[in-house]
């Protein structure tokens, strides 16, 4: 059986409550506030294999660019547009597929990518 | 079963699932892109028959007289998108003009006129059409989303057009533009003939006669444009069609052999294994 790999992204936010509201209400994702020995913040479950760790604190390996895979980039894009998510650009083609970038309230970048095999 | 949706910008989508249909149309306000999701549809464009299968599509310019025929025992699933001329012209400007030219409202000299032939359904267009069809089947009515798909379908078509028409046309070396255009037009006829008749034995002489070229001239120019002889092109076409049938139907191997024009199941299996690296049954399982 293939081993399930979970990708974690660590993202720093200036206001955790605002960030949680953004992920829950605008992106419609499941967010869980967590306080552990080594992490204090919230965990966003994007998919069974991708989680985003949000925190106001500084942690190693924090990034301001997250890659989110989607089955249908245009559907995702139009859905998020209706939720007033701010996009940096329009859906565009990369050698690996169709992509579009949106930002959160802190300017962190989230690249939606629909992987295509040409 | 028929799905029809017209948008406020006059673009339209028509999806049908039928065994028999005849439609005759001349629409001066729309460009039409016709796809077949399963089965096949015969399309008569300017008195020329074009057979559309799920691995191909055709484009009809605004104002062209065309007719569609479906006559099948099993239901044929089709998708036609009607793009308003203004929508296509606006897209054309976006595609060909840079940002400054667009801001300066630079106009393109000519209205888009596409080559009405058979195109391979590949690349981004294949994905975008697949997504659009899935949304239609789900009953999605969101105009913004559906128009976004149409915009990207047109983009996918322009990518294919560049590769299938512009680049291939450029590969022909004739001094006179008129000669180059005419030879290219005849080669497109040859390609359409191969696509439409792959289920039967095709003789080079018949193909040459159909496209009004001598056999030598056909062999030389076809290879120049398509990188392979008409026979090699036909074999690849048959194998690609066989792969499609293996993936999307449960037809037995013998039936697929007949549908794609191979002489016997054994020669089909042998050639399939040589070219694809696995047997048809293993390909289907995978």
Q: How far apart are CA B34 and CA B44, in angstroms?
A: 12
CB pair distance less than 8 Å for A116 and B127: yes
Of A72, A91, A92, A94, which to mutate for an interface test with B (greatest number of B Cβ within 10 Å)?
Answer: A72
CB pair distance less than 8 Å for A81 and B152: no
pLDDT of residue B2: 84
What is the nearest CA distance from A89 to chain B, expressed in angstroms?
14
State the residue for tokens 């022909």: B172
pLDDT, tens digit (0-9, with 9 covering 90-100), for A34-86: 988 888 899 999 999 999 999 999 988 899 999 999 999 999 999 999 999 99
> How sure is the predictor about A1, in pLDDT bands with cuts at 50, 70 and 90?
low
Which CATH number characterizes residue A23's domain?
Answer: 3.10.180.10
Sequence-ordered alpha helix ranges (H) in A1-118: 16-21, 73-82
Judge whether A76 is closer than 8 Å to chain B, CB to CB: no
Portion 115-154 of B in contact with A at CB < 8 A: 122-124, 127-128, 131, 134-135, 142, 144-145, 148-149, 152
| Total of domains in chain A | 1
| Residues B17 and B77 sit within 8 Å (Cβ to Cβ) | yes
Q: Is the residue at A107 inside a domain?
A: yes
Cα-to-chain-centroid distance, residue B12? 19
Judge whether B68 is closer than 8 Å to chain A, CB to CB: no
Of A74, A82, A118, the CB nearest to B152: A74
Q: Which of B284, B286, B277, B275 is nearest to B253 (CA)?
A: B284
Q: Is the residue at A86 inside a domain?
A: yes
| Phi, psi dihedrals of residue B154, rounded to the nearest 5° | -65, -40
pLDDT of residue B104: 67
Q: In angstroms, how far is the first alpha carbon of chain B from the final one?
A: 32
DSSP bridge partners of B59: B33
Residue length, chain A? 118
Show the domain range for A105: 7-115
Q: Which residues of chain B does A77 touch, with a Cβ-Cβ cutoff of 8 Å?
A: 148
Q: How far apart are CA B36 and CA B11, in angstroms?
A: 19
What is the nearest CA distance from A70 to chain B, expressed in angstroms?
12
**ipTM of the complex in this document:** 0.90
| Residues B279 and B273 sit within 8 Å (Cβ to Cβ) | yes
> How sure is the predictor about B184, in pLDDT bands with cuts at 50, 70 and 90?
very high
What is the nearest CA distance from B149 to chain A, expressed in angstroms?
7
CB pair distance less than 8 Å for B131 and A72: yes
Of A75, A93, A118, the CB nearest to B145: A75
pLDDT of residue B108: 65
pLDDT, tens digit (0-9, with 9 covering 90-100), for B91-146: 998 888 776 766 666 666 678 999 999 999 999 999 999 999 999 999 898 999 99
Q: Is the residue at A75 inside a domain?
A: yes
Give the DSSP H/E element, type plus range, for residue B179: helix B177-196
- Whether pLDDT at A9 is above 70: yes
pLDDT of residue A2: 60
Q: How far apart are CA B165 and CA B158, in angstroms?
A: 10
DSSP β-ladder status, A86-87 and A97-103: antiparallel
Alpha-carbon distances, residue B35 vs B4, B66, B169, B219 (angstroms): 15, 15, 24, 30
pLDDT, tens digit (0-9, with 9 covering 90-100), for B167-180: 999 999 888 899 99
Q: Is the residue at A1 inside a domain?
A: no
Portion 35-74 of A in contact with B at CB < 8 A: 72, 74
Judge whether B53 is closer than 8 Å to chain A, CB to CB: no
**CA torsion angle A57 A58 A61 A67 (round to 10):** 50
pLDDT, tens digit (0-9, with 9 covering 90-100), for B68-93: 899 888 899 999 999 999 999 999 98
Of A70, A73, A77, A78, which to mutate for an interface test with B (greatest number of B Cβ within 10 Å)?
Answer: A78
> In sequence order, what DSSP letters do the residues of B42-96 get, joined into one string?
EEEETTEEEEE-TTEEEEE-TT-EEEEEEEEEEEEEEEEEEEEHHHHHHHHHHHH
Q: Is B151 helix (H, G, I), strand (E, B) or coil?
A: helix
DSSP β-ladder status, A97-103 and A109-115: antiparallel
């Amino acid at each position: 059986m293939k081993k399930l790999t979970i990708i974690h992204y660590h993202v720093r936010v200036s206001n955790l409550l605002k960030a949680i509201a953004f992920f829950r209400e605008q992106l419609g994702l499941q967010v869980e506030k967590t306080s552990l020995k080594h992490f204090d913040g919230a965990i966003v479950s994007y998919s069974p294999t991708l989680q985003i760790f949000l925190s106001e604190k500084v942690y190693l390996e924090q990034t301001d660019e997250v890659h989110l895979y989607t089955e249908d980039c245009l559907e995702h894009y139009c859905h998020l547009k209706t939720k007033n998510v701010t996009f940096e650009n329009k859906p565009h083609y990369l050698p690996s597929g169709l992509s579009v970038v949106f930002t959160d309230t802190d300017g962190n970048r989230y690249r939606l990518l629909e992987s295509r095999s040409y | 079963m028929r799905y029809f949706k017209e948008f406020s910008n006059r673009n339209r989508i028509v999806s049908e699932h039928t065994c028999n249909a005849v439609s005759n149309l001349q629409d001066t306000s729309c460009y039409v892109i016709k796809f077949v999701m399963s089965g096949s549809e015969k399309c008569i464009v300017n008195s020329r028959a074009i057979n559309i299968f799920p691995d191909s599509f055709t484009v009809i310019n605004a104002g062209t007289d065309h007719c569609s025929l479906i006559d099948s025992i099993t239901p044929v699933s089709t998708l036609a998108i009607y793009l308003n001329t203004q929508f296509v012209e606006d897209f054309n400007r976006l595609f060909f003009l840079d940002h400054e030219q667009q801001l300066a409202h630079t106009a393109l000299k000519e209205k888009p006129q596409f080559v009405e032939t058979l195109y391979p359904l590949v690349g981004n267009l294949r994905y975008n059409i697949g997504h659009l069809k899935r949304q239609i089947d789900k009953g999605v009515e969101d105009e913004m989303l559906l128009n976004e798909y149409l915009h990207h379908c047109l983009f996918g078509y322009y990518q294919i057009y560049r590769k299938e028409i512009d680049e291939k046309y450029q590969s022909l070396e004739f001094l006179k533009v008129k000669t180059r255009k005419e030879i290219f037009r005849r080669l497109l006829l040859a390609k359409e003939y191969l696509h439409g008749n792959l289920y039967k034995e095709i003789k080079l002489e018949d193909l040459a006669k159909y496209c009004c070229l001598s056999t030598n001239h056909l062999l030389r120019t076809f290879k120049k444009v398509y990188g392979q002889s008409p026979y090699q092109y036909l074999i690849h076409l048959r194998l690609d069609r066989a792969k499609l049938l293996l993936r999307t139907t449960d037809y037995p191997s013998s039936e697929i052999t007949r549908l794609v024009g191979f002489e016997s199941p054994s020669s089909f299996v042998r050639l399939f294994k040589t070219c694809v690296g696995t047997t048809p049954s293993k390909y289907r399982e995978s």
